[in-house]
Structures are given as structure tokens and as C-alpha cells.
Amino acid sequence: MKATINDVAALAGVSIKTVSRVINKEPTVRKQTADKVWVAVKELNYQPNLAARNLAGNKSYAIGFIYDNPNAYYVIDMQNGILNECKNRGYDLIIHPCSARSETIIDELKEMVRSSRVAGLVLTPPFSESPDILNALEQLDVELVRIISGDAKTHPHIAHISIDDAKAASNITEHMINYGHERIAFISGDKGHKSTGERFKGYQAALKQNHIRYDKKLVIEGSYSFESGVEGAKQLLSGKQKKPSAIFACNDEIAAGALFAARLMGVEVPEEVSIAGFEDSPFSRQTWPKLTTAQQPNNEIAQLATSMLISSLRRTASGKEQPENRHFEPQIVVRDSTAAH
């Protein structure tokens, strides 16, 4: 017969309410009491019914993750990071993919929050950077933590983790310049993501700091996809115009596409053209040569964002201040796809 919360309470010699507080990992329970409860849970092999817990009473134990990102590796890393922390803290995870470009996206998100009864949302770009979406979500009874590129120029009062894409992009460009490259091309990602603009800003800053003339012909508008890297590299490496000696792609998927295109065109990497990406996704390690990139620990960032969100939920309930915001600077990882010019 399956053990119940009443069985755990009886074996541990505490109230049902105390068992619930321990399982929910509320910080107000004394360690000695919590240890007794966990011993009873293990002995009885008690499995709390999280779905039933969410339906009972007014308190929700569900975290929502909404996303619109074409990079499957990014999404998987985010999901795993959020899920790990939810398991650690006794929360469910509700995943909701959707289109940020939909005309009804705000109504869709409002309905998702209401119907799923989520306590909080982890927001990633482009949702975390949309003033309209943030304004709408703030009207609902739900906590938010944003993962954003650059500074929180809008809605700075909402807890956030900022990624210094501009500095990391500048470091990658500087790395290529130090290798003797001056004609460095840039293949961008989607304009709807602030990271694209931040990485482009870092690229431009490094050129300016090293007194290298910016050439708009070396900048290709693209999207965060392998195909975009293929098409971008074909534009840069074909024709009679002077070709770049290096390509900085806005993410690893684009860089892998650029590397593939170079191979098809008989252009040696890195002997004839160096290529670098961004994020240190599996794409950067599955190519040959492996890609120089900037390491962005998305799993770690997602887990931290979820920890901040759950801690915020508990602090809000006790009337205390919001948690501090956090900052990440992706670190350059030099591999074989870049070499001296």
C-alpha cells in the first residue's frame, strides 16, 4: 500500500503541516526536525503528489518556462537547468513554447499563467526583453526572473541575470586581431534578440579600439541558424570582391554553417579563413576543426535564475526584499578554427 503524508507524520512524530513544510523545503523548519522527516520519507518510500499539491489551496508550486528560440541546444540547456533546480526545491516545471511574433502572444501568455497556475516564470529572450510582454505579465500575480543580454535598461526592478555579450564579442574580435586579421566579417543573428545587437556592438568596439576601419560590406544580416551561416559565408567568400580573412558568427550554429560553406567552396579553415562562434554549444565541438567560441554556461545560468525565482517567491511571502541581480561574462575558448593570418 502506498505511503501517505499521514504515515510520514506519524513515523516522524510531527504534524502533517510540518511534513509539508519540510517537503517544500521551507527554511523555517529546524534542521533536527527536517532530518527526522526525511528519514521517515526515505523509510516509507513516500512520493509526494506534486500535481495534487498544486491543485490544493492557494499556493502554487509550479515554475513556467516560455521560449521562442530556434537553437535547440540553447533550449535544452535552459530546460535542464531549470528542471534541476525545480527538483531540488520541490517545484514542478511547465514548459510552454510559443512565437514572440504572434499577434496574440500577450493574451496567450496571460491565459497560460492563469490556466497553469504557475507561481513564477523564467523569461529568456526575446520575451525577457519585450517591454509590452513585461508590462502585461507584471499585471498578473506571478513572480518573474529575466535572462537578458546587456544591461536592464527597461524594467530594472524585475530580478534578472545579465549576460555581457558585448564584452565577450569584443574579446573574440580582439583575439582575431591579435592573430593579424584586419578584414574580419560579421554574420549576425535575429534582429529580434538583443544579443545580436550586443555582439555586433562588441565587434565594432574592438575594431575601433584597434584603429581598424569598419566595412559594412563585411557585415551580413542573418538569423540564428545553420542555413544562415551557409548563406552568409557564401556571400563573403564568393565573387571578385576582396574576401575576409576571418569570420565572427553570432553563434556556434551560424559558425558551423559558415565552416560547412567554406569546405564546399574549397576554402581551408583556418589556413585561408578563420571562423569563430559564440555560446560554446555542441555545434562548436562537433565540427572539424573545432570552433573558437565564447563559453556561455546556459545550464548554470538557468539553474541560477530558477533558484533566484524560488527564493524570491519565499521572500515575497515574508515581505523581504527581492534577491540581488547577477551578471555573467562569457569567456573565450580558443580552438583550431582560428589561426594567425
Q: What is the pLDDT of residues 152-189, one digit of tens each?
A: 888 988 999 999 999 999 999 999 999 999 999 999 99
Nearest to 251 by CA among 288, 300, 324, 200: 200
Task: Detail the DSSP E strand segments found in the chain.
Answer: 62-67, 92-97, 120-123, 143-149, 160-163, 184-187, 219-220, 246-249, 274-276, 293-295, 326-328, 331-333
Q: Could you tell me the pLDDT band of residue 23, with boundaries at 50, 70 and 90? A: confident
**In which residue are the cell numbers 576601419 written?**
213
165-296, which class in CATH?
Answer: alpha beta
| pLDDT value for 55 | 42
- Angle, alpha carbons 33-39-42 (nearest 5°): 140
Q: What is the pLDDT of residues 73-118, one digit of tens each?
A: 899 999 999 999 998 888 889 999 998 888 999 999 999 888 888 8
Mean pLDDT, rounded, of the chain: 89
| pLDDT value for 8 | 83
Q: Could you tell me the pLDDT band of residue 56, with boundaries at 50, 70 and 90? A: very low
Packing angle, helices 31-44 and 16-23, rounded to 10: 90
Nine-digit cell string for 149: 543580454
- Average pLDDT, integer, range 43-47: 82
Q: Is the pLDDT at 57 greater than 60, yes or no?
A: no
5-48, which class in CATH?
Answer: mainly alpha
Q: 165-296: same fold as 62-164+298-329? A: yes
Q: What does DSSP assign to residue 266?
A: T
Contact 233, 257 (CB under 8 A): yes
| pLDDT value for 42 | 85
- Average pLDDT, integer, range 19-46: 81
Q: How far apart are CA 130 and CA 161, in angstroms?
A: 15
Q: How far apart are CA 292 and CA 284, in angstroms?
A: 7
How is the chain split into domains, by residue range?
5-48, 62-164+298-329, 165-296
**In which residue are the cell numbers 568596439 written?**
205
| pLDDT value for 18 | 82
Nine-digit cell string for 171: 574579446
Domain 62-164+298-329, CATH homologous superfamily name and number: Response regulator (3.40.50.2300)
